[in-house]
Amino acid sequence: MNSNNNELEIELNIKSFLVSETNEEGVIKFANDEFCKFSEYSLDELIGQHHNIVRHPDMPEKAFDELWSTVKSGKRWKGFVKNKSKTGKYYWVYATVYPFTSCDGSTGYISCRRKASKDEIEKYSKIYKTMK
């Protein structure tokens, strides 16, 4: 087995549901236990950090440009994302990001993520390589 952590995959369980909330700048305000588990960060380590703390270098900037332009226009974004854990391992998710305005008028984003299938991972790995 290769000991290089960035080549080790963390496979989500079919029941895994990762949730995080950020402010409008992308700074993490909340993360559920599943997000902490798979990202390998504690809640205290995540709160106050920009969400790109889990961004994998294989992800093209264009994918995140699309995400941000979509949610900043008030629309929901859905897509596949390869994330990086604290120890350098990776995990794929199907993410849905929702913009929201809370009752106090503050705005932000909630991201809900589930396991991506092998076929989806294969497809989007190829697409993202062409976007680099």
> Of 43, 46, 55, 42, which is closest to residue 27 (Cα–Cα)?
46
pLDDT of residue 7: 80
pLDDT of residue 4: 64
Q: Digits of tens for pLDDT over the chain (132 positions)?
A: 344 676 899 999 999 999 999 999 999 999 999 999 999 999 999 999 999 999 999 999 999 999 999 999 999 999 999 999 999 999 999 999 999 999 999 999 999 999 999 999 999 999 999 997
* Domains by residue range for the chain, with CATH: 15-124 (3.30.450.20)
- List strands edge to edge, sheet with 28-31: 28-31, 18-23, 107-115, 90-101, 77-84
CA 30 vs. chain centroid, Å, equals: 13
- Residue 93: CA atoms inside 13 Å, Cβ hemisphere, count? 27
